Amino acid sequence: MPILMNKSDKRHQKERLYQLFTQVTQALANPRRLELVDLLGQAPRTVEELAQETQMSIANTSQHLQRLKRAHLVRAEREGVHIRYYLSDPVVARLWLELRMVAEHQLAEVEDALTDYRPRRHAFSTLSFAELQMQLQAGEVLLLDVRPTVEYQAGHLPHAISMPLAELNHRLVELPIDKLIVAYCRGPYCVYADEALDVLAAQGWRVARLEEGVLEWQLLADRQA
């Protein structure tokens, strides 16, 4: 015979469930930790690499990572004297994208802040994933991944060529002049692609930007599966 809980017990158990959910929301309720999640969505990194990328001290970076780890949003693996961090599950990256989309829809300030961060965001034409795929199949474009090499190696869009922004000026001779050059980086909240397109456009290439990055492409693929 099933054991029936009284209303007080049910309320307690329900509150415990919601309290567990707040472990995730509280871990993410910090801009520095959100940036770490964003970076780890691009590629696993050591504490030292993350500290350099975010311009935080190693101690502060480690503290933020430990908070994310306690909420089981990241995991760590020791490599000699270093510890490399990973997102614990692809669902964490999807949560970050969904959180971002909610903010975009509900907070008008996001648009203004993005324009301040990316003043050149409207300077170039953009392609959707579908348009890019069609033009790639027709051989009309060259797709450049201008993120750091470690991120390209961790995952990249099909047919993309790795050409990190830091190497671009030295590798211009590799680019065909008769094709549209499309660049992408970490998604819409990344300036690398804008900076790369500025360089290419000044040298006479026809250019366009893919606003989305690898995380957005993976989310789209999951939804279509």
Find the angle CA(158)-CA(161)-CA(166) to the nearest 5 degrees.
135
219 three-state secondary structure = helix
Q: What residues are labeled active site?
A: 185
Residue 124 is given by DSSP the state S
Fill in the amino acid letter for 221.
A
DSSP, residue by residue, 167-182: GGGGSGGGS-TTSEEE
Report how far residue 106's alpha carbon sits from residue 157's, in angstroms, rounded to the nearest whole number. Answer: 29
Helix/strand/coil for 217: helix
Q: Is 188 helix (H, G, I), strand (E, B) or coil?
A: coil
- H helix runs in 43-187, sequence order: 47-54, 58-70, 90-106, 109-117, 129-137, 149-154
Cα separation, 101 vs 51, in Å, equals 26
* The token pair that represents 90 in the structure block: 């692809």
